[in-house]
């Protein structure tokens, strides 16, 4: 039991680095939906400040495990940017195919 607890706690920093990467990727994906330029700027500055200012703002996990952070950012950003047009077309198709009922007044 002690070994299991030690294993879980030793992986906490890696999991936290991935979580921060996923959070940045979600912000980029939501910004990409309406403003592509802002999304790219947010991605650049988010990664830039995370690596060069992480120790000063309490994110030492990013400096210790940068690959985990970048993996989270990459996966979430790519899925978000690819998913926005796909889900937009799917939503438009579903709304277009809905049966139309006359509005009762």
pLDDT tier for residue 25 given thresholds of 50, 70 and 90: very high
Q: Residue range 67-83: average pLDDT?
A: 90
> How far is Cα 71 from Cα 2, in angstroms, rounded to an integer?
30
Would 105 be classed as within a structural domain?
no
- Domain enclosing residue 28, as ranges: 2-95
Q: How much is the pLDDT for 6? A: 74
Answer whether 19's CB lies under 8 Å from 61's CB: no
Q: How much is the pLDDT for 105? A: 63
User: For the chain, what is the domain count?
Assistant: 1
Least confident stretch, 25-29, 45-49, 50-54, 78-82: 50-54
Would 63 be classed as within a structural domain?
yes
Most confident of 36-40, 65-69, 94-98: 36-40
Does position 55 have pLDDT exceeding 70, yes or no?
A: no
Would 102 be classed as within a structural domain?
no
């Amino acid at each position: 039991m002690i070994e299991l607890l030690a294993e879980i706690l030793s992986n906490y920093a890696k999991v936290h680095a991935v979580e921060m990467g996923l959070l940045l990727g979600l912000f980029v994906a939501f910004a990409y939906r309406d403003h592509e330029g802002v999304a790219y700027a947010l991605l650049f500055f988010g990664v830039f400040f995370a690596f060069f200012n992480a120790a000063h703002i309490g994110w030492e996990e990013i400096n210790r495990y940068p690959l985990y952070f970048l993996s989270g950012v990459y996966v979430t950003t790519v899925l978000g940017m690819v998913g926005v047009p796909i889900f937009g077309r799917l939503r438009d198709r579903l709304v277009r195919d809905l049966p139309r009922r006359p509005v009762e007044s």
